[in-house]
A and B are shown apart, each in its own frame.
Chain A
């Protein structure tokens, strides 16, 4: 039975963000593997790359692992919002509440940022030890992490809103985020990619984030930081618009 509720008469402001942070924290607290896996995931990849790649790429790969970990938050957002909607039927409650679509998106993204923060801090400490990072370098890195976090979380939640079964979560999430992770040159310089691949990679925002970070940290030769930053913002805006279009808040 549908009930008409005057939403404007309900409280519109509240401690929504801390509540979502608490959801993220409770998830980590209740499931130790959920805390350990996001922390370890980038290090598994780093270890593998350390074994096979030239050692001079290591600082670049640590910075890449920070962006990769952030990108992975999108995959967790996908699975979380699918569980909330399909299994727990929580999204119906959010839809009926004064909590709007944008706050829900941001809340899920924020709650999933919490388990990723320890890994990002440890990687940041490693980066500080293996590379001489300036204040500008840190600012660019943090800015890129925030942009990638917002964009890929939005993509994850938008895609999740179109899934009909929990069975689809793993393959769809894996397909999107692994492909995006492989295509963007997070762990090596863009210049060493074959030409066709390089052009395909240049369609992705994470590529510009990686190139911008590598340039700002002085890990690659010449870099046009202003152009890379402009392209990162442009590609992110396009990605966010696509995610907004795809996102289904109310079930039909």
Chain B
């Protein structure tokens, strides 16, 4: 396989996906419900953790975009059989993958902006923290979109996909310290959770915002792991999109 990337049709497909997703306003609204529920739990049971939970909500929302990629790619392929048409068209496989992922990112950004406004109100971010937030959220989007797309191609019916989607969001979003601070995790587990993309992103943003303390080694571990995972998985997503196109 040639390593050069082909982007034919990417812009048009991205615009199509944004338009399709913006019509799914109910899905956009309901995507905020789980972070909303956890925020409410925290507001009632441990209000002092709210800023950390808001950062977690932003990270989780980005991870959820990947799960929407999973659903959308599966829906296009299984229900509508549209991807065969796409692959037969001048649209490149790279453009197909990045178009879905990018369309989801744009469409699902508004609820995240609401969370960001609340975070700014409760705990204003410095320039460094804001930059860390943007960088980490983009890395989580890259990781999650690639996982979502690859997983979507492994199944033959929509019903089988839903449990895996739920499992992934829980394993990456609820279990590791995304909605709760890293300091509540036992010391011997800290290195492990810092290589999980979602908890690494949350820990880095929290540290940059002064909500959490990370040692230099932990910062390097979290930032290195997140950057590597984002790069490798996104490239793998593109490779997988090409492979799927070639098979058809």
Interface residues of A (CB under 8 A from B): 31, 33-34, 36-38, 40-41, 44-45, 47-49, 51-54, 57, 79-80, 83, 87, 166-168, 170-172, 174-175, 178-179, 181-182, 187-188, 192-193
| A178:B33 contact, CB within 8 angstroms | yes
Instruction: Point out the residues of chain A lying under 8 angstroms from B75, CB to CB.
Output: 166-167
Instruction: Point out the residues of chain B lying under 8 angstroms from A193, CB to CB.
Output: 44
Q: How far is the CA of A1 from the CA of B174 in the complex (A)?
A: 52
Given contacts A34-B163, A87-B158, A167-B75, contact A57 B45 (CB under 8 A): yes
Q: Closest CB of chain A to B173's CB: distance in Å?
A: 9
Given contacts A36-B167, A44-B170, A166-B75, contact A188 B37 (CB under 8 A): no
- Contacting A52 at CB < 8 Å: which of B36, B42, B157, B162? B42
Give the residues from 146 to 175 in chain B that come closer than 8 angstroms, CB to CB, to chain A.
Answer: 157-160, 162-164, 166-167, 170, 174-175
Q: Which residue of A lies closest to B184 (CB)?
A: A51
B interface majority secondary structure = helix
Asked if B97 is at the interface (CB within 8 A of a chain A CB), the reply is: no
Asked if B96 is at the interface (CB within 8 A of a chain A CB), the reply is: no
Q: How far is the CA of A40 from the CA of B167 in the complex (A)?
A: 8
Q: How far is the CA of A31 from the CA of B179 in the complex (A)?
A: 29
Q: How far is the CA of A171 from the CA of B31 in the complex (A)?
A: 8
- Contacting A37 at CB < 8 Å: which of B38, B46, B163? B163
Q: How far is the CA of A36 from the CA of B167 in the complex (A)?
A: 8
Instruction: Point out the residues of chain B lying under 8 angstroms from A52, CB to CB.
Output: 41-42, 45-46, 49, 180, 184
| B166:A171 contact, CB within 8 angstroms | no
Q: Closest CB of chain A to B192's CB: distance in Å?
A: 15
User: How many chain B residues touch A (Cβ–Cβ < 8 Å)?
Assistant: 36
Pairs A–B under 8 Å by Cβ, sample size 28: A31-B160, A33-B164, A33-B167, A36-B163, A36-B167, A37-B163, A37-B170, A38-B163, A40-B167, A41-B170, A44-B175, A48-B41, A49-B41, A49-B45, A52-B45, A52-B46, A53-B41, A54-B45, A80-B159, A87-B158, A167-B24, A167-B79, A171-B27, A171-B29, A175-B29, A178-B34, A181-B37, A187-B41
Asked if B30 is at the interface (CB within 8 A of a chain A CB), the reply is: yes
Q: Which residue of A lies closest to B38 (CB)?
A: A48
Instruction: Point out the residues of chain B lying under 8 angstroms from A166, CB to CB.
Output: 75, 79, 158
Asked if B5 is at the interface (CB within 8 A of a chain A CB), the reply is: no
Q: How far is the CA of A49 from the CA of B184 in the complex (A)?
A: 12
- List 11 other contacts, CB 8 Å, given A33-B167, A34-B163, A49-B41: A33-B160, A33-B163, A36-B167, A40-B170, A44-B174, A48-B175, A52-B184, A79-B162, A167-B79, A170-B30, A175-B30
Q: Closest CB of chain B to A41's CB: distance in Å?
A: 7
Q: Closest CB of chain A to B156's CB: distance in Å?
A: 11
Q: How far is the CA of A52 from the CA of B164 in the complex (A)?
A: 26
Instruction: Point out the residues of chain B lying under 8 angstroms from A179, CB to CB.
Output: 33
Q: Closest CB of chain B to A2's CB: distance in Å?
A: 29
Best-surrounded residue of A174, A187, A192, A193 (most CB of chain B within 10 A): A174
Q: How far is the CA of A187 from the CA of B42 in the complex (A)?
A: 11
Q: Closest CB of chain A to B104's CB: distance in Å?
A: 13
Q: Please provide the 4 A-B residue pairs with the shortest distance between their CB atoms, ordered closest to farther.
A: A171-B27, A33-B163, A178-B33, A37-B163
